Amino acid sequence: MITSIVYLRAEQISDLFESKLNQHLIIQGEAFSMDQNTVFHAFTASPKSSPAGIKVNCRFYLYPSDVEMVAAANNFNYFKLNSDEALIIFLSVSNNVLKHKCFLKLNGSISECEIKFIPGKLELYSRSKGLLEVESISKKSVGIVGLGSGGSPIAVELAKAGIGNFTLIDFDRLELSNVSRHVCGVNDLGRFKTYAVRDLIWQKNPYANVITSEIDVNVNMQECANVLSKVDIIICASDNDRSRFFLNELALKFKIPAIFGRAITRAIGGDVLRVRPFKGPCYNCLYSQNVRSAGGDDEEISQEKQAKKLLPDYTNEQDLQTVIQVGLASDIAPISNFMVKLALVELSKGENTGIKSLEEDLISDFYIWANRREKVYESWSKLEFNFNKPSILRWYGARVERDPNCMVCGI
Ligand SMILES: [Zn+2]
């Protein structure tokens, strides 16, 4: 029979002993069983987001000496426990050394388990050291507006990089039609995207501070301004121009850099704009509101309600579905990924990290990506063995200047 492994959060255990040193204590914990009781995750207090698995009874016994702890574990009457399935964890700290024993009671038999600790804050991201300054990146805060197929992977990637503070804004709930392109799955259906993505962030970085705001930025503008006023960078991954113009104005007002990214028509390609307030072009310099509304829109239509807005009321369901121009998640991924890189470079600016050379590469503020030779990219050369001509699946930096007459950032 294989030994079951029980994972504990190192910081939870050390917090416990810090406050309750030299005491005998019984704590009702929470544990989740996975893979036919071969793996457990146990908590001394409810986790911020529950892991998968089946909840089982779990109790922690704390002792001030290891001799006492071992004796208690050996003499414990497991059969007196009410439940048939339970994890009993014995812990002691003496002379600053933590000792532990853990037993699983399951269908009338008792077996000893192995305990493993999930390390604390700094250790978790120490592997990124050298490439990113873990300590400093963990203090940065990122505001992400729009948690659809573009914004949700950005949030998760930034959590993986060790960003410690997030503000997530989206008023949508996860629908079945989103699942194939979203980082969240069917278990999150019906949930606010903000909450579902927050839980994924905590899976990667349990110490991240995550503020969520379920507001429509086009309606609750003041609240949006309030929650974004203190972030270090704004990531705009919303699916409509109105919100982009508004976030551009906010970025300039608060002098916060912003990254705008979007996919166009069925994700045949996309573009990314970095706005460094008053140091480079802003969103309005590039797409002044007048030009945009006169020239129509090549925006990707990814949601039913977006399509409904554009089409007459009598449009039937079938026609509606054909208008929804979804790309594949793999078509959107390069754009999200590039936004993550730009954000990390922006947040690590001036620090001597492994990604410093990227600062020299990414001097353009505007980038173009093409996924397929269709529509605007139709005349591009085939990728084949071609180095010199514009072709698909490559990034192109384009020179764009500030517009001195810009209504938003002009002088
Ligand atoms: Zn401007």
Asked whether residue 252 falls in the same domain as residue 379, the answer is yes
Looking at residue 49, what is its pLDDT?
84
**pLDDT value, residue 306:** 64
Please tell me the distance between residue 214's alpha carbon and the centre of ligand 1 in angstroms.
Answer: 28
Distance CA 375, CA 301 (A): 16
400 within 8 A of 281, measured Cβ to Cβ: yes
Our count of domains for the chain comes to: 2
HEC letters along 212-241: EECCCCCCCHHHHHHHHCCCCEEEECCCCH
The answer to whether residue 311 scores a pLDDT higher than 80 is no
Q: Which residues surround ligand 1, an ion (CB under 5 A)?
A: 282, 284-285, 406, 408-409
158: CB partners within 8 A, 6+ apart: 142, 166, 340, 343, 344
Domain of 285? 126-398
Measured CA angle at 73 (ends 68, 78), to 5 deg: 145
- For residue 273, the CA-to-ligand 1 centroid distance in Å is 12
Domain boundary among 118, 143, 161: 118
Burial of 77 (0-12, 13-18, 19+ CB in 10 A): exposed
Q: How far, in Å, is the centroid of ligand 1 from the Cα of 267?
A: 26
User: Quick one: which of 167, 168, 163 has its CA closest to 136?
Assistant: 163
**139 and 233 belong to one structural domain:** yes
Report the largest interatomic distance among the alpha carbons of the chain, rounded to a whole angstrom: 82
**How remote is the CA of residue 355 from the centroid of ligand 1, in Å?**
28
Residues 6+ apart with CB under 8 A from 205: 124, 125, 159, 160, 162, 163, 164
| Residue 403 lies inside a defined structural domain of this protein | no
Model confidence over 71-97: pLDDT tens digits?
999 998 888 877 888 999 999 988 889
Condensed to tens digits (0 to 9), the pLDDT of residues 346-401 reads: 999 888 888 888 999 999 999 999 999 998 899 999 999 988 889 999 999 999 99
Predicted local distance difference test score (pLDDT) of residue 296: 42
Least confident of 15-24, 251-260, 269-278: 15-24
pLDDT tier, 295 (very low <50, low <70, confident <90, very high otherwise) = very low
Q: 97, 118, 139: which is the final residue of a domain? A: 118
pLDDT digits (tens, 9 = 90+) for 111-141: 999 999 998 776 666 666 667 777 888 899 9
Mean pLDDT of 152-173: 96
Which of 92, 118, 144 is at the close of a domain?
118
In the reported structure, the alpha carbon of residue 205 is separated from the centroid of ligand 1 by a whole-number distance in angstroms of 36
Task: State percent of the chain over pLDDT 70.
Answer: 88
